[in-house]
Amino acid sequence: SRQFLQTPRILARHAPAASFASAQFKVCINGGAGGIGQPLSMLMSMNDSVKEVSIQDVTMAAVPPAGVAADLGHLEYPSKVVGYATDPSKPAVDQLEECLTGCHLVLVPAGVPRKPGMTRDDLFNVNAGIAKGVVEACAKYCPDAVIGLIVNPVNSIVPAMAEFYKKKGLDPLKIVGVTSLDIVRANKFVAELTGKSPGEIEVPVIGGHAGVTIMPVFSQDPAAATISTDKIPALDKRTQDGGTEVVEAKAGKGSATLSMAYSGARFGNKVLKGLAGTPTDECAYVASTVTELPYFSSKVTFGTKGVEKIHGIGTLNSYEQGRLKEAMDQLKTEIDKGLEYAKARS
Ligand code: NAD
Ligand code: LMR
């Protein structure tokens, strides 16, 4: 069975690889030689509907992208894997034509991770510049591709990049912030508390991807809804602080990489499933009219063109209504930072 395409399961691969003929999608991973990039590239190379994976990173990456590609090219899956090393002192747009042309999905974990004591917002200046190079090249070579931005701070970088797409007359909904790791964490923590299988739990996480903007809606998952209300604030806080928990445990050597690669593949596989004709849902951070904020994460249906429908936030209990206000207050500031960045560079 190929359950990993439907649910976040990877161990179900007992069947031989699918035929080369059924593989149809080209996927690029920018920052593909990094901590997230390598395992994410591996998981995307293992999707039977993927015919080609571009692994792009800079010339001074810890491992040459061509090496990561040669390694993954031996997996018994249909995907052909090609590495691309670029010079960061030269415009990305001049170097990425072959890497991006024909791509259906671009996943972007290129960027600097946090160290203990830093906020995601502290990464904005350097990471927005990296994202801009990649996104401008996507606008030129694969304007119809879905661009999944993993690079932090997602809350500000997604608005900045979506505004660039708007200015170029492209669809800003091609720019999608990947917030799946928050869902994965919420599901796992609820499973641990309730004893239910993590695979049966699906907690919507709305808002954004930093601190109080990460808003798990426990009342909307049947298992999570059985948890007594006095335990919810701590569960909520643990989900919000999941990233910091990993940053501190890694003690200066990076942030979540393996759980992010898993979550990025969960997101990427859902997008590809939608592109292949089976509409599939995942909460994601996109240009939105669901609240009065112009960007917001809520359930999105991915279809044959990418984002097909953005769903409302549904019914919230009184605790969640209070949290929504708190989340929106912080998110507004972070969105404005991204919009200002885009405005200053138009
Ligand atoms: P890392 O340092 O291990 O890897 C980043 C890679 O990006 C490196 O290989 C680096 O060479 C590459 N890179 C730098 N500039 C580049 C450019 N111009 N073009 C292409 N590649 C470039 O970091 P990581 O742990 O993989 O984290 C990457 C980013 O993902 C960070 O910003 C981190 O905060 C973010 N992140 C987001 C989430 C989320 O939930 N959205 C989760 C975890 C990490
Ligand atoms: C996470 O949630 O793990 C990422 O956003 C990385 C971080 O800096 O916490």
Backbone φ and ψ of 80, nearest 5°: -95, 135
Compute the distance from residue 17 Cα to the ligand 2 centre, in Å: 33
Which comes out higher in pLDDT, residue 207 or 5?
Answer: 207
50: Cβ contacts below 8 Å, ≥ 6 apart:
23, 25, 26, 27, 44, 77, 78, 79, 272
Contact indicator for 215, 207 with CB cutoff of 8 Å = yes
Tell me what pLDDT residue 23 has. Answer: 86
Compute the distance from residue 154 Cα to the ligand 2 centre, in Å: 10
What are the distances in angstroms from CA 280 to CA 149, 277, 283, 290? 19, 9, 10, 19
Q: Which ligand is nearest to the CA of 123?
A: 1
Is 179's C-beta closer than 6 angstroms to any atom of ligand 2? no
Compute the distance from residue 18 Cα to the ligand 2 centre, in Å: 34
Is 178's C-beta closer than 6 angstroms to any atom of ligand 1? yes
Tell me what pLDDT residue 22 has. Answer: 78
pLDDT class for 4, splitting at 50, 70, 90? Answer: very low
Is 209's C-beta closer than 6 angstroms to any atom of ligand 1? yes
The encoded tokens of residue 39 equal 């395992």
Q: What is the pLDDT of residues 101-116, one digit of tens each?
A: 999 999 999 999 999 9
Q: Which ligand is nearest to the CA of 297?
A: 1
Q: What percent of the chain has pLDDT over 90?
A: 93
| Residues annotated as part of the active site | 209
Residue 301 pLDDT more than 70?
Answer: yes
Interval 205-215 mean pLDDT: 98
Residue with CA nearest ligand 1 atom 4: 34
Compute the distance from residue 149 Cα to the ligand 1 centre, in Å: 10
Backbone φ and ψ of 334, nearest 5°: -75, -35
Tell me what pLDDT residue 8 has. Answer: 39
Tell me what pLDDT residue 12 has. Answer: 44
Tell me what pLDDT residue 326 has. Answer: 98
Residue with CA nearest ligand 2 atom 9: 243
Q: Which atom of ligand 2 is nearest to the CA of 120?
A: 8
Is 268's C-beta closer than 6 angstroms to any atom of ligand 1? no
Q: What is the pLDDT of residues 8-23, one digit of tens each?
A: 334 444 455 567 777 8
Contact indicator for 9, 3 with CB cutoff of 8 Å = yes
DSSP letter at 41 equals H
Is 152's C-beta closer than 6 angstroms to any atom of ligand 2? yes
Contact indicator for 159, 167 with CB cutoff of 8 Å = no
Distance CA 316, CA 308 (A): 24
Backbone φ and ψ of 171, nearest 5°: -80, 115
Q: Which ligand is nearest to the CA of 243?
A: 2
Residue 319 pLDDT more than 90?
Answer: yes
Interval 307-316 mean pLDDT: 98
DSSP letter string, 83-138: EEEE-TTS-GGGT-HHHHTT-SEEEE--SPPP-TT--GGGGHHHHHHHHHHHHHHH
Whether ipTM tops 0.95, in short, is yes
Tell me what pLDDT residue 5 has. Answer: 42
Average pLDDT, the chain: 95
Is 246's C-beta closer than 6 angstroms to any atom of ligand 2? yes
Is 287's C-beta closer than 6 angstroms to any atom of ligand 1? no
Q: Which ligand is nearest to the CA of 214?
A: 2
Q: What percent of the chain has pLDDT over 70?
A: 95
Compute the distance from residue 174 Cα to the ligand 1 centre, in Å: 20
Element (H, E) at 82: strand 80-86
Interval 72-88 mean pLDDT: 97
Interval 205-222 mean pLDDT: 98
What pairs with residue 301 in β-bridges?
Answer: 281, 309
Compute the distance from residue 244 Cα to the ligand 2 centre, in Å: 7
Tell me what pLDDT residue 21 has. Answer: 77
279: Cβ contacts below 8 Å, ≥ 6 apart:
301, 302, 303, 308
Q: What is the pLDDT of residues 116-170, one digit of tens each?
A: 999 999 999 999 999 999 999 999 999 999 999 999 999 999 999 999 999 999 9
